[in-house]
Chain A
Amino acid sequence: AQKVTQAQTEISVVEKEDVTLDCVYETRDTTYYLFWYKQPPSGELVFLIRRNSFDEQNEISGRYSWNFQKSTSSFNFTITASQVVDSAVYFCALSGPGGSGGFKTIFGAGTRLFVKA
């Protein structure tokens, strides 16, 4: 069975602080994809990043960086020098083969990030 755990329910930081959002996953599949999505107050989830299970290279995109470690089944997300606009709910997701073809994506419970000015 697949499972995604985001143990941090809410995080509050002051602007310009760095913040790391944790994600731990469980799967028996050898081929799978990991994602992070952002849900701002407006409600629409926005895709941030995708990693496949064979690529453990960390990735940096501007102030965002992701650390994928298969050994610990973790896919953590760090925001450097946080800004008020980063305030949102962040979801980690795991996509693996579905029972009838294609992929099935499940989400963690989300981490609500508050960035105070």
Chain B
Amino acid sequence: KAGVTQTPRYLIKTRGQQVTLSCSPISGHRSVSWYQQTPGQGLQFLFEYFSETQRNKGNFPGRFSGRQFSNSRSEMNVSTLELGDSALYLCASSRSEDTGELFFGEGSRLTVL
């Protein structure tokens, strides 16, 4: 059974650009969550999608957005990139909407220059 797949694994952008990250959840998982991981802030919750609807959102500015498609695949977008957006972005899928057990991908490491 394939795990959570995130693309791209690594990318470099410059300030002001935008970026789109993709996440394919485990087959049958309908919930997808996104996290930002940085050395200083740890794992910060961005948002969670279920059946194409954003159900929960963390405390990030509007530059951070996401969506989920009918096949449960999800994308997140960061516009007007800032140096502080450099981080490992982790996607996690969940089998059940009740338990919250998360299965993580390897992440997309974004560097903003």
CB < 8 Å A-B pair total: 69
Q: List B residues 14-36 near A (Cβ within 8 Å).
A: 31, 33, 35
**A109 is an interface residue with CB less than 8 A from chain B:** yes
Measured between beta carbons, the chain B residues less than 8 angstroms from A109 are 42
Q: Are the C-beta atoms of A110 and B42 separated by less than 8 Å?
A: yes
- A108 CB contacts on chain B under 8 angstroms: 42
- Interface size bracket, B side: 20 to 34
The binding surface of chain B is classed by DSSP as strand
Kindly list chain A residues whose C-beta atoms are within 8 Å of the C-beta of B88.
Answer: 43
Cβ of A50 within 8 Å of any chain B Cβ, yes or no, is yes
A residues 67-117 in Cβ contact with B at 8 Å? 91, 95, 98-110
Contacts of A98 in B (CB 8 A): 48, 55-56
CB distance from A71 to the nearest CB of B (A): 23
> Is A45 in contact with chain B by the CB < 8 A criterion?
yes
Tell me whether B48 and A104 are in contact (CB under 8 A).
Answer: yes
Chain B, 41-77, contact with A by CB distance < 8 Å: what is the 0/1 string? 0110100101000111000000000000000000000
Considering the complex, which residues of chain A in the window 22-50 have a beta carbon less than 8 Å from any beta carbon of chain B? 33, 35, 37, 42-47, 50
| Closest 3 pairs (CB-CB, A-B) | A95-B100, A98-B56, A103-B100
B residues near A, CB below 8 A? Answer: 31, 33, 35, 42-43, 45, 48, 50, 54-56, 88, 90, 92, 97-107
